[in-house]
């Protein structure tokens, strides 16, 4: 019953007696499998899509196609998210224990509650939308009840929980003993949130472009917002790398560097920025959205995987706890 097989030896091969204990990692990496980074991505898309459509609506932007796309994308994300999280639990049948207590100092607890509330509200909102779209039939009581749901008010109420779902992945990782995550504690949440906005905007834009839905003004606004979100994301990532310093080594080194710099920075931010800044066309917009979405997935993967590698490096942990640069 030894967990994780044998321990993973640290990556530092040169070590002197007294500097570490046979290069055995002094902290343990989390067991989290693929479900976790995929959840951070899927949940982020739903949070971003909800935030964007709600803000647009509050500003009086009346495009029904945008609202419809936003509500259904959010619903899809909020159906998938808990399934991914529950399947990653060591005891999935006890998932409801997440809601037996609220702990303000535990990002995992805050996140579970936010996901529960945001998910429930987005279910109600999407039901109202489905009733409006005639998907629930015409005169039956269920459809009438669904149409009575105050979707606008609920959307506004869901905003804080949506924004927390978009950012807490970063906060959750930051509040650990893992050097790469802990060193960048303040910027982790904002960077995850920026990526959540960019991927949410891209999902909306992609859906509207593929379905040839939405007004011209909506497409232009989404394009402007995508550019702004990508610039914010780029700035936060550069600041994060600076803040991590040598503790960001898993991101610069093999095997994650190609995916991080090629997939996230170049493919997921710089290339779509170029595509969105040049001549406007449907294929270019679609390509940009797909690139942003894939880049966001790569970002979640390298952040989770990079932290695991950071935890396996004894010198990183020791140097971090001695408060060295």
If the CB atoms of residues 143 and 201 are measured against another protein, the closer one turns out to be: 201
Picking from 322, 226, 222, the residue whose alpha carbon sits closest to that of residue 274 is 226
From residue 213, how far is each of 64, 69, 218 by CA, in Å? 10, 9, 10
Radius of gyration of the chain (CA): 21
Least CB distance to another protein at residue 146 (A): 27
Secondary element (H or E) of residue 228: helix 216-244
If the CB atoms of residues 116 and 261 are measured against another protein, the closer one turns out to be: 116
For tokens 């003993």, name the residue.
177
If the CB atoms of residues 131 and 229 are measured against another protein, the closer one turns out to be: 229
If the CB atoms of residues 173 and 259 are measured against another protein, the closer one turns out to be: 173
Calpha distance 152→57 (Å, rounded): 8
Picking from 19, 21, 25, the residue whose alpha carbon sits closest to that of residue 4 is 25
Least CB distance to another protein at residue 292 (A): 15
If the CB atoms of residues 7 and 147 are measured against another protein, the closer one turns out to be: 7
As beta bridge partners, residue 17 has 20
If the CB atoms of residues 11 and 176 are measured against another protein, the closer one turns out to be: 176
Number of Cβ atoms within 10 Å of the Cβ of 271: 16
CB within 8 Å of 320: residues ≥ 6 apart: 179, 182, 183, 247
Calpha distance 207→72 (Å, rounded): 10
């Amino acid at each position: 019953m030894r967990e994780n097989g044998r321990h993973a030896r640290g990556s530092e091969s040169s070590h002197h007696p007294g500097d570490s204990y046979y290069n055995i990692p002094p902290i343990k990496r989390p067991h989290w499998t693929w479900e976790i980074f995929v959840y951070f991505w899927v949940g982020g898309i739903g949070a971003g899509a909800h935030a964007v459509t709600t803000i647009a609506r509050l500003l009086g932007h009346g495009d029904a196609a945008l609202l419809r796309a936003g509500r259904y994308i959010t619903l899809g994300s909020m159906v998938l998210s808990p399934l991914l999280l529950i399947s990653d639990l060591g005891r999935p049948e006890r998932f409801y224990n997440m809601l037996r207590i609220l702990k303000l100092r535990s990002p995992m607890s805050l996140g579970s509650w936010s996901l529960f509330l945001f998910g429930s509200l987005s279910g109600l909102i999407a039901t109202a939308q489905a009733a409006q779209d005639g998907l629930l039939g015409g005169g039956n009581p269920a459809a009438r009840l669904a149409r009575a749901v105050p979707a606008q008010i609920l959307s506004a109420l869901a905003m804080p929980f949506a924004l927390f779902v978009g950012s807490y992945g970063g906060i959750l990782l930051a509040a650990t003993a893992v050097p790469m995550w802990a060193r960048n504690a303040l910027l982790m949440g904002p960077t995850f949130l920026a990526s959540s906005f960019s991927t949410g905007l891209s999902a909306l834009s992609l859906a509207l472009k593929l379905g040839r839905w939405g007004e011209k003004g909506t497409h232009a606004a989404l394009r402007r917002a995508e550019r702004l979100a990508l610039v914010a994301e780029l700035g936060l990532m550069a600041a994060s790398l600076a803040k991590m310093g040598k503790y960001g080594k898993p991101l610069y080194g093999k095997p994650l560097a190609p995916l991080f710099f090629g997939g996230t920075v170049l493919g997921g931010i710089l290339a779509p920025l170029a595509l969105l800044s040049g001549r406007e066309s449907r294929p270019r917009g679609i390509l940009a959205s797909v690139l942003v979405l894939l880049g966001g997935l790569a970002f979640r993967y390298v952040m989770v995987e990079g932290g695991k590698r950071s935890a396996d490096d004894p010198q990183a942990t020791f140097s971090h706890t001695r408060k060295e640069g």
